Amino acid sequence: MRGQMMDDALTITSIMDFADRVFPNTEIVSVTADNPRHRSNFAEAFARSRKLANALTKLGLQAGDRLATLAWNDYRHFELYYGISCSGYVCHTINPRLFPEQITYIANHAEDQWVFVDVAFVPLLEQVQDQLETVKGFVVLTSAEHMPKTTLKNVHCYETLIADQPDTFAWPELDENSACALCYTSGTTGNPKGVLYSHRSTVLHCMGTNQSSSLSLSASDSVMPVVPMFHVNAWGVVYNAAATGAKLVFPGPKMGDGETLASLVNEEQVDFAMGVPTVWLALVNYLKESGTRVDSLQRVIVGGAACPESLMRAMDEFDVAMQVGWGMTEMSPLGTYNTLLPWMNDLPDDEKMVYRLKAGRLIYGVKMRIVDEEGNELPWDGKASGRLQVRGPWVCKSYYKLEDSDAHLPDGWFDTGDVATIDKYGYMAITDRTKDVIKSGGEWISSIDVENAAMGHEDVQEAAVIGVPHPKWTERPLLVVVKRPGTDPSKEELLGFLEGKIAKWWIPEDCVFVEQIPHTATGKVSKKDLRAEFSSYTY
């Protein structure tokens, strides 16, 4: 017997309509390149999304077309998120920090039709525009007076494009399983892979992560996403805020600037902020140096990399509770979140810290398990450590245009590439990674790409790259090299050789020479053994 309830589609349009109706006056404050404090609200932003939707219609697009953004967190990017997805197109956020060749690869693979770009990234696009195979034109996210001189072809100014459009628009009735957003991850080996979110997965992620044991946002919150909107939809908060009426405070291009972050917190009474450890380190350093306090800030979600204990303790001194979250692009991204069980609050500080530093407990909606190399499930005893696998309605089933090679295992679980323990209270802790990548300042570095670039040097017989701890960036790459017999390249020469071949911030700070690199039985470099060999190396 089937249930007899309505099946209203779970779409981003429903979130937008809700916020427009219920929280029209909720503020959106942004730092932009041309305005240190732009003030807007949900009603204004959605009216501009409707103007944008009218402008998009005139561009003659097809449903499902990919429209790329290369932009910081601000109100225009917010309008694009809703205007594009609710019109039935796919909002493809591109990470502007990637190497130009990767941006080209991603835009071509996604077959992007138009690119919406911040003024700051116009030069980057000018450099690659001739290689963009499907892009018909560019829209610069600024006003006519701030429009830069550019060689970009078929270029529009955003404000001019939407200015004369009506602010009414009949949003299409969308299938909840239709695609709404696309984000490429380099967190796996090989070329970046596209994770194609659906309206349904996005709404369910929003509902799931708004539970009280997770983000738990409400209309009394003022939330500052310092996680970029080009990275997994800023961990979904752009939707969560609209679904709960929380005020949004966007730091624009000032994401890593402790002083701006502190003044935004104080001026906009931010009580909840989100970002990777490197960002919070910048904030703490600024607070300590300047003697500033951030008294409104109650909670900070830290994710994307493990939270160092020293950082959590430093934030404690400012009465800011750090809460660890874990997830990945393929998971929309949240899977676990760390809030303490009531009895844990009475534990002595050091014992409490052990739990607080873990990646947290499952968010209802996601399932997880740890398995050994043979796929046998391991106990939740806090000791057994195994491959971490997940499943759920906001977990990726297959990558974009790689539908034949499902992302998940034959039994429907997705292997995260992380290694973890889970204790008897359900707290998961990441202990290692099986994927061969390095995460620096919250962004991926492909060790394989760095290795291939280094192997291109004629004096290198073998090269391997591993991540080693770094006080500011959490992790940085270290190049390990076996010299070709009879040659004697210097460290500086090899590191210099990498310039121009990979993104600048991917270049390791150091290179060490060894007699040999350990290999597995199948002849592959054993990163596990190499990491063990360099376990005491720190930057």
Binding of ligand ADP by 366 (CB under 6 A): no
Binding of ligand ADP by 370 (CB under 6 A): no
Q: Which of 146, 145, 106, 144 is nearest to 125 (CA)?
A: 106
Name the one range near ligand ADP by CB under 6 A: 99-107, 299-307, 463-471, 487-495. 299-307
Distance, in Å, from the CA atom of 435 to the CA atom of 328, rounded to the nearest integer, reads 13
Q: How far apart are CB 348 and ligand ADP at their closest, in Å? A: 24
Q: How far is residue 361 CA from its own chain's centroid?
A: 20
Distance, in Å, from the CA atom of 175 to the CA atom of 243, rounded to the nearest integer, reads 20
Binding of ligand ADP by 327 (CB under 6 A): yes
Question: Among 278, 323, 416, 447, which residue sits at the site for ligand ADP (rule: CB under 6 A)?
Answer: 416
Name the one range near ligand ADP by CB under 6 A: 152-160, 396-404, 412-420, 509-517. 412-420
Distance, in Å, from the CA atom of 467 to the CA atom of 477, rounded to the nearest integer, reads 5
Binding of ligand ADP by 306 (CB under 6 A): yes
Cβ proximity of 148 and 141 under 8 Å: no
Per rule CB under 6 A, count of chain residues that contact ligand ADP? 21
Q: How far apart are CB 144 and ligand ADP at their closest, in Å? A: 36
Closest to ligand ADP by CB, 155 or 279:
279
Binding of ligand ADP by 93 (CB under 6 A): no
Closest to ligand ADP by CB, 222 or 233:
233
String of DSSP letters for 109-175: HHT-SEEEE-GGGHHHHHHHGGG-SS--EEEESS-GGGPPP---SSEEEHHHHHHTS-S--------
Q: Is the bond leading into 333 cis (omega within 30 degrees of zero)? A: yes
Phi/psi of residue 368, nearest 5 degrees: -140, 160
Cβ proximity of 320 and 294 under 8 Å: yes
Q: How far apart are CB 252 and ligand ADP at their closest, in Å? A: 20
Name the one range near ligand ADP by CB under 6 A: 100-108, 209-217, 245-253, 298-306. 298-306
Distance, in Å, from the CA atom of 434 to the CA atom of 69, rounded to the nearest integer, reads 31
Q: How far apart are CB 281 and ligand ADP at their closest, in Å? A: 15
Binding of ligand ADP by 466 (CB under 6 A): no
Closest to ligand ADP by CB, 245 or 303:
303
Question: Among 65, 418, 449, 475, which residue sits at the site for ligand ADP (rule: CB under 6 A)?
Answer: 418
Closest to ligand ADP by CB, 88 or 442:
442
Q: How far apart are CB 176 and ligand ADP at their closest, in Å? A: 24
Question: Among 359, 366, 494, 502, which residue sits at the site for ligand ADP (rule: CB under 6 A)?
Answer: 359
User: What binding mask, one character per residue, do residues 232-271 give for ligand ADP by CB under 6 A, x or -?
Assistant: x---------------------------------------
Phi/psi of residue 326, nearest 5 degrees: -130, 145
Binding of ligand ADP by 365 (CB under 6 A): no
Question: Among 333, 365, 392, 441, which residue sits at the site for ligand ADP (rule: CB under 6 A)?
Answer: 333
Q: How far apart are CB 394 and ligand ADP at their closest, in Å? A: 13
Q: How far apart are CB 186 and ligand ADP at their closest, in Å? A: 8
Per-residue CA distances from 429 to 83, 102, 307, 325, 326 (Å): 38, 32, 11, 11, 9
Q: How far apart are CB 338 and ligand ADP at their closest, in Å? A: 8
Polymer length in residues for the chain: 539
Question: Among 80, 311, 324, 481, which residue sits at the site for ligand ADP (rule: CB under 6 A)?
Answer: 324
Question: Among 326, 337, 355, 394, which residue sits at the site for ligand ADP (rule: CB under 6 A)?
Answer: 326
Element (H, E) at 347: none
Residue 483, class by beta-carbon neighbours within 10 Å (0-12 exposed, 13-18 middle, 19+ buried)? middle
Closest to ligand ADP by CB, 303 or 365:
303
432 to 461, contacts with ligand ADP by CB under 6 A? 433, 439, 442
Closest to ligand ADP by CB, 254 or 387:
387
Closest to ligand ADP by CB, 104 or 332:
332
Cβ proximity of 368 and 438 under 8 Å: no
What phi-psi label fits residue 532: left (phi over 0), alpha (psi between -120 and 50 degrees) or beta? alpha
431: three-class secondary structure by DSSP: strand
47: CB partners within 8 A, 6+ apart? 167
Rg (CA), the chain: 23
Alpha-helical runs (H) found in 210-236 = 232-235
Distance, in Å, from the CA atom of 186 to the CA atom of 385, rounded to the nearest integer, reads 25
DSSP tag of 14: H
Active centre residues (catalytic): 185, 330, 439, 444
- Cβ neighbours around 305 below 10 Å, total: 20
Question: Among 430, 460, 468, 530, which residue sits at the site for ligand ADP (rule: CB under 6 A)?
Answer: 430
Q: How far apart are CB 538 and ligand ADP at their closest, in Å? A: 18
Cβ proximity of 327 and 304 under 8 Å: no
Name the one range near ligand ADP by CB under 6 A: 73-81, 119-127, 415-423, 512-520. 415-423
Which residues contribute to the site for ligand ADP (CB under 6 A)? 185, 187, 232, 303-306, 324, 326-329, 333, 359, 416-418, 430, 433, 439, 442
